[in-house]
A = this chain, B = another copy of it.
């Protein structure tokens, strides 16, 4: 299925951190790529958190005295705040008003609101809709349920030669919102397709589709044994609007996670800006929290972080967390460009090996069939001499490239030949 068709298929589904919408999303993804769907029971505790009851909703409306349904869940799944408790009753305008969210500054937008951590209900509507409400009594119905069930996580793993893992993490808990985060989900699907299309890799790659915040917390808690193997990763989000590229650095700032992504942007000749790490945004907050302290970056178009960080909770793109973040905002061209950079980034990580020479003095190249006469093949001769001379267990292939300007792929090829001769070993 192409990216646009998948986006159109996933868009209408009412997702939350649990429930049928999230399951349907994961099953749709699973039709595209190999995916392991993991289930964790509601009520179970993970670190400081507990999985909430599973939330589902069949319908909801607000009806006037004259019987007109002025707000209906059928029209937009944003109309009901996520995790709203079931409710039925006829109430005054004043009472109803306490349960309504709208955006004063965006009169046409329905805001996206969740009630994960309170036991209440609410409707969301546009300012324009709200302004039309008369001072009368309204019949309100929310056909939702909160029941025992599961939190679900989609997991893809490509095992590489090394136990070291690079992660791509994206979240599947937002309802009909497009840049945030159908764009990330589609990027995740495309990266898995790429990983499936290539041969054995050096690193292991893990691509996760999970509900934001609680998803990584549950998954990390259940996979503590692999945390030491994680090199770092990227959070896939905000990949699809038309804004220029922005890279939000990892908490480690100059980690290979950052260096390889930035190198990819450079090698592809992209224009981009860079933002420092802040513990706001998406799931980098969990992965980089003090005890995990993992390096996670994120290549975005519009960023979570505004240019003016005096209010970092309000991104610069006005459509954020409203009904304006819809399919019209999605640019397949923009999304494709982000995926292209991540694919280049995987390639660059794969090339980013450190080798340690096992020889004392130079090896006798001709004895091992490794000697190349510069007059026959100048570039390969350089690659051979530079690789053997700099492979001291601390200098990566990229470092050698930076010192010598020799093509990185040629250095990698030469490295493989030395490895086959058991003259070097890779440093993990």
Contact = CB atoms under 8 A, between A and B. Distances in A.
Interface of A: 47-49, 117, 213, 216-217, 220-221, 251, 276, 278-280, 285-286, 288-293, 309-313, 356-364, 366-367, 374, 378, 381-382, 385-386, 388-393, 403-405
29 contacts: A47-B360, A48-B360, A48-B363, A48-B367, A213-B361, A213-B362, A221-B361, A276-B403, A278-B403, A279-B385, A279-B388, A279-B389, A279-B390, A285-B362, A286-B362, A289-B357, A289-B360, A290-B357, A290-B359, A290-B391, A291-B357, A291-B360, A292-B360, A309-B404, A310-B405, A312-B382, A313-B374, A313-B378, A313-B381
Contacts of A221: 360-361
Given A221-B361, A286-B361, A290-B388, 11 more contacts: A48-B360, A48-B362, A217-B361, A279-B385, A279-B388, A279-B389, A285-B389, A289-B360, A290-B359, A291-B360, A292-B360
A385 B291 contact: no
Contacts of A47: 359-361
Contacts of A251: 392
Determine which residue in A279, A290, A356 has the highest number of CB atoms from chain B within 10 A of its CB, and name it: A290
Given A313-B381, A386-B278, A217 B360 contact: yes
Contacts of A363: 48
4 A-B pairs with the lowest CB-CB distances in the bound complex, closest first: A279-B389, A290-B357, A290-B392, A217-B361
B404 A278 contact: yes
A406 to B, nearest CB: 10
A220 B360 contact: yes
A153 B278 CA distance: 50
Contact of A359 (B289, B312, B360): B289
A288 B213 contact: no
A135 B95 CA distance: 111
Contacts of A309: 404-405
Contact of A49 (B48, B286, B358, B361): B361
Contacts of A312: 382
A392 B288 CA distance: 9
Contacts of A313: 374, 378, 381
